[in-house]
Amino acid sequence: MYRSGVVMAWNVFKFCTALRGLGSIMILLVLGVVGVTYYAVVLCNYGPALTAGGFDSLVAVLILIVFHALLAMLLWSYFSVVFTDPGGVPPNYRPLVDQERGEMDPLEASESVPLATADSTHTRIRYCRKCNQLKPPRCHHCSVCGRCVLKMDHHCVWVVNCVGALNYKYFLLFLVCSLFYLPVGDMSKLPFTL
pLDDT in tens, 105-163: 444 444 444 444 444 444 467 778 888 888 888 888 888 888 888 888 888 888 888 89
pLDDT tens readout for residues 157-193: 888 888 998 999 999 999 998 888 877 766 554 444 4
145 labelled catalytic:
no
pLDDT tens readout for residues 5-22: 555 455 455 555 566 667
- Residues sharing a CB contact under 8 Å with residue 146, sequence separation 6 or more, in sequence order: 16, 130
The catalytic residue among 139, 142, 156, 177 is 156
Report the pLDDT value the prediction gives residue 69, as an integer from 0 to 100: 92
* C-beta separation of 184 from 70 below 8 A: yes
Q: Which regions of the chain does DSSP assign to beta strands (E)? A: 2-3, 6-7, 126-128, 133-135, 139-142, 147-150, 154-156, 161-163
Window from 27-31, 61-65, 137-141, 179-183 with minimum mean pLDDT: 179-183
d(CA 93, CA 87): 13
d(CA 74, CA 82): 12
- Between residues 184 and 42, the one the model is more confident about: 42
C-alpha angle 124-129-133 in degrees, rounded to nearest 5: 65
Report the pLDDT value the prediction gives residue 72, as an integer from 0 to 100: 94
d(CA 35, CA 182): 12
Query: What amino acid occupies position 164?
Result: G
